Amino acid sequence: MRHLKYFEQLLESEHRQHPDREQQSRPQPKKGEEGIMSAADMMDMSFDTIDFAGDWKKLFGQPSPNFDMLIHGEPGAGKSTFLLKMSKYLAQTFGKVLYVSSEEFGAASLTQRLQELEIVSERLFFASDLSKPLDDYDFVIIDSVNDLGVTLSEFQKMRETYPLTAFVVVLQHTKSGDYRGGKDWEHEVEIGAEVIDGVIYVYRNRYGVKGILDIFEPISSTDSDDEGDSEEMPDIEQARESAREKGKKKKRDIRENPHDGLKR
């Protein structure tokens, strides 16, 4: 695709202007001589983290500033709604956010959702593709890598080029319920989450916390001693099974009532 070719040219230009960048990697703790450290030195190490609070902390913990995250789910499950809420929180609290929405950029549906969710921030920006440099942004959300045609190797190049930037990528589900792009994406990121019927489940997290959150309920961004009564939600396997049964029922209904299916 044209914008991906432009992105490859952009990476080559970045390398010519900053040849030392190729030697950079995502920030790593300082190691001892010949890559060996004592247990005491390891215990004394400190790392920068993002001070997520409230429901965000319960969901993700406190990841590093340059975390990378994968989110996947069925169409209409609530992925974009969640990402818009997350974009607002990141922009209002931590830094500049670029939301790359290849399918909805400039569409009435995105404008309506922004109005409904009251997504307003001077540090939140939108783009239709990845044709522009990402240096100015602390967080980049790509919705979706499938529609943009971004491969795993191209994503790896992005991270090498922008080692201080956090990335959130969205992968679309296939008809079989898996996500397009294969499991290699899952092993490449630090945080993996799935959205099922309006609930996000964190099932992989190198920072320890694996939370569950109802996307369509108000999301708290402050810590509170009063936790209140929270609704108990099914675990991810129960939610997946429930979603599969709903999908099967919908297909049966369409087969039995094809005219109703056309109206949908």
pLDDT number for residue 172 = 84
Of 19-23, 130-134, 184-188, 224-228, the poorest mean pLDDT is in 19-23
| Per-residue burial over 112-147, b = 16 or more CB atoms within 10 Å of its CB, e = otherwise | eebeeeebeeebbbbbebbebebeebbbbbbbbbbb
Same-domain status, 129 and 186: yes
Mean predicted confidence (pLDDT) in 102-106: 84
Domain span at residue 101?
A: 1-6+47-222
Same-domain status, 163 and 260: no
- Structural domain total, the chain: 2
Name the strands in the sheet holding 97-101, side by side, starting at the edge strand that comes first in the sequence.
Answer: 124-127, 97-101, 139-143, 166-172, 68-73, 191-196, 199-205, 212-214
Question: For residue 79, what are its two tokens?
Answer: 């992925």
Q: Evaluate whether residue 228 is within a structural domain.
A: no
User: Scanning the structure block, which residue is given the tokens 């602390």?
Assistant: 138
Confidence label for 261 from pLDDT (cuts 50, 70 and 90): very low
Q: Evaluate whether residue 29 is within a structural domain.
A: no
CATH number of the domain bearing residue 169: 3.40.50.300
Mean predicted confidence (pLDDT) in 142-164: 94
Q: Evaluate whether residue 62 is within a structural domain.
A: yes
**Helices 2-17 and 152-161, interaxial angle, to 10°?**
30
Same-domain status, 210 and 252: no
Distance CA 167, CA 67 (A): 7
pTM of the model: 0.76
